[in-house]
Amino acid sequence: MTQPPIPCRTALVLGGARSGKSRYAQALAESFVGEWVFVATAQALDEEMAERIARHRQDRDARWRTREEPLDLVAVLRAEARPGRVVVVDCLTLWLSNLMHARRSAEAEVAGLAAAVVTLEAPAIFVSNEVGLGIAPAHALGREFRDVQGRANAALAGVCDVVVSMNAGLPVLVKPGPRPNLRLA
């Protein structure tokens, strides 16, 4: 028996590297009848990243309109999230890295994003890496980034209607999720 679709206006798609997050978010957006806007946060700071960006662009056809914004995500969302559109933000991990590199307060920016998400005038899908499942990074900056990323994911998960975790290319619905029926002895 197939389950009916879960109505949602906002979704967060989490997962590890190469888990299918972007592909899933794109397919979810393409089920929307209307305009599709892709907000890219990556910057081509080296040849390898330029190649990754080019591959991602090739995955989207001409029906997609792309906005590139490495830092001012809330402003772009407010400008692009209009009725009749769906916006995909890919990805929050690179956005956070950009913010930290620019010495901007990631915590303040994430709080601003979480506040903005609930007021958007169009459906929005956010892609983010789950970086806290592995070993602790050896360096302080890596640990700081892991912590900032974890708090950002939690903040967005709290305000998005749906959270999906991509595991080995398979989507696992996290929110709304089952409520345990615990009995304390």
Task: Give the number of other Cβ atoms within 10 Å of residue 130's Cβ.
Answer: 19
Structure tokens at 48: 């390898």
Task: Give the number of other Cβ atoms within 10 Å of residue 163's Cβ.
Answer: 23
- Based on the residue annotation, tell me whether 56 is a catalytic residue of this protein: yes
CA atoms of 14 and 124, how far apart (whole Å): 14
- HSE value, Cβ hemisphere, 13 Å, CA-based, for 178: 4
Choosing from 14, 25, 36, 56, the catalytic residue is 56
Q: Which residues contact 109 (CB under 8 A, 6 or more apart)?
A: 73, 74, 99
Catalytic sites, residue numbers: 56
